[in-house]
Amino acid sequence: MEKKEKIRLKPSQNSICGSSYNLLNVKLLNGCNGKCEFCIAAGTPVKKSADAQRFIDTANSMTKFSKVDILGGEPTLYPNLLEILKGIRPYKDDIGIISNGSNLKRIKECLPYLDTVTLSIHSFDYSKNSTGICINEEELRDLNKNKGNVETISTVVITKETVSNLEEIKDYAKKAKELGFSAIKLMELVTSNENIDFIDLQDLLIKFGIHQKNATLKGCFFELPELSEYLGIKTYIKLCCPFNNVFKAKSFGIPDIEYQHDYMNVIQPDCSVTDSWIYDLFDNKILNGDDVNVNYLKK
């Protein structure tokens, strides 16, 4: 039987990681003071964090990666966060930080070295916020007031327990705008659990022109202009693909793609470098066939 040719994803056609095939994730530490069940870092191996200079040297040596996301765990818990940002800023075009917002004063002091601040606020009703973090709204307003050209994004994973329908999205957007955010991001839930009430953004937002294709091939991260206009704030969408969501796998099947080892790299807490996220537990990953081989340690 003739071997089927694998699909090669192209940044111009497939907006994986926002059309960026040189994204570098810098995972400073495993520790976090939140408890998001759907965190991308759930199941990753525990490693002791390297010192700041090793992170700086490792990141700056990777010259093909001009876009960097600083994350964890909770990156503001790393004691020398500011030193790292100062060290890599001259060598990187775009630097973002992803945080649960528990230490906004630290993020504020980092603003001169950042392009994007993404805060995971899964509900402004803090009794429903799955991170367990009650964000100080006064500090949040102050951060947004002093953000300058930094894009600040409030991110929510759409679930029955957090934000679950268009009216609740409207309320979330209104509050984010009131607090001074530049944008919001609506994310689908990564899950392999077929028994949950999964909320499909491709169904929920169909009237706003969201595409109805396999996100792996058509695009998983993008702004939805019609929804941005409706909500009065820039709105990004992060769809799941068949590789990390059982409902998408059932709808679209799992495409046979050619894995590209340098579209996204991860600097692990010990400063080893991998060409994907690596996991000890795969509870929220749907992998089959050759796809289990994506976790290669870079030579």
Tell me which of 1-10, 79-88, 91-100, 177-186 is least confident: 1-10
Residue 203 has phi, psi (to 5 degrees) of -85, -50
277 against 22, higher pLDDT: 22
Most distant CA atoms of the chain, gap in Å: 65
Q: Provide the pLDDT for residue 67.
A: 92
At residue 225 the predicted structure's pLDDT band, cuts being 50, 70 and 90, is very high
Checking if the pLDDT of 107 tops 50, the result is: yes
What is the token pair recorded at 129?
């916020």
Checking if the pLDDT of 289 tops 60, the result is: no
With contact defined as beta carbons under 8 Å apart, do 197 and 252 qualify?
Answer: no
Over range 183-209, report the average pLDDT.
94
Tell me which of 15-19, 80-84, 286-290 is least confident: 286-290
> Reading across the β-sheet that carries 234-238, which strands appear in turn?
221-223, 234-238, 183-187, 151-157, 116-120, 94-99, 67-71, 23-27, 264-267, 273-274
Q: Residue 117 corresponds to which amino acid? A: V
Q: Please enumerate in sequence order all residues whose Cβ is within 8 A of that of 115, keeping only pairs 6 or more positions apart, or say none.
A: 94, 95, 96, 149, 150, 151
Q: Please enumerate in sequence order all residues whose Cβ is within 8 A of that of 135, keeping only pairs 6 or more positions apart, or say none.
A: 101, 102, 104, 119, 121, 126
Q: DSSP letter at 198?
A: -
Most confident by average pLDDT, 127-136, 170-179, 208-217, 265-274? 170-179
The length of the chain is 299
Q: Provide the pLDDT for residue 6.
A: 64
At residue 161 the predicted structure's pLDDT band, cuts being 50, 70 and 90, is confident
Checking if the pLDDT of 241 tops 50, the result is: yes
Checking if the pLDDT of 290 tops 50, the result is: no
**Among 206, 203, 199, residue whose Cα is nearest residue 245:** 199
The residue behind tokens 């409706």 is 230
Q: Does domain 23-294 have CATH number 3.10.450.50?
A: no
Instruction: Please compute Rg for the chain using Cα positions.
Output: 19
- At how many degrees (to 10) do helices 52-61 and 81-88 cross? 30
138-150 per-position pLDDT tens digit: 999 999 999 999 9
With contact defined as beta carbons under 8 Å apart, do 199 and 292 qualify?
Answer: no
Q: Provide the pLDDT for residue 131.
A: 57
Tell me which of 9-13, 128-132, 177-181, 226-230 is least confident: 9-13
At residue 129 the predicted structure's pLDDT band, cuts being 50, 70 and 90, is low
- Across the chain, where does the E strand assignment appear? 23-27, 67-71, 94-99, 116-120, 151-157, 183-187, 221-223, 234-238, 264-267, 273-274
Checking if the pLDDT of 10 tops 90, the result is: no
Residue 117 has phi, psi (to 5 degrees) of -120, 120
Range list of H helices, the chain:
52-61, 81-88, 104-110, 137-145, 166-178, 201-204, 215-218, 225-231, 246-252
Q: Give the dihedral of Cα atoms 28, 34, 36, 42; nearest 10 deg.
A: 40
**Among 213, 207, 279, residue whose Cα is nearest residue 47:** 279
Q: Provide the pLDDT for residue 206.
A: 98
Tell me which of 37-46, 115-124, 177-186, 226-235 is least confident: 37-46
Checking if the pLDDT of 102 tops 70, the result is: yes
Most confident by average pLDDT, 123-132, 166-175, 213-222? 166-175
Over range 274-289, report the average pLDDT.
59
At residue 296 the predicted structure's pLDDT band, cuts being 50, 70 and 90, is very low
Cα separation, 232 vs 251, in Å, equals: 32
Checking if the pLDDT of 282 tops 50, the result is: yes
Domain borders along the chain are 23-294
Q: What pTM value is reported for the model?
A: 0.88
Cα separation, 21 vs 26, in Å, equals: 15
228 against 285, higher pLDDT: 228
- How far lies 292's CA from each of 27, 155, 240, 259, in Å? 22, 29, 18, 11
Over range 205-213, report the average pLDDT.
97
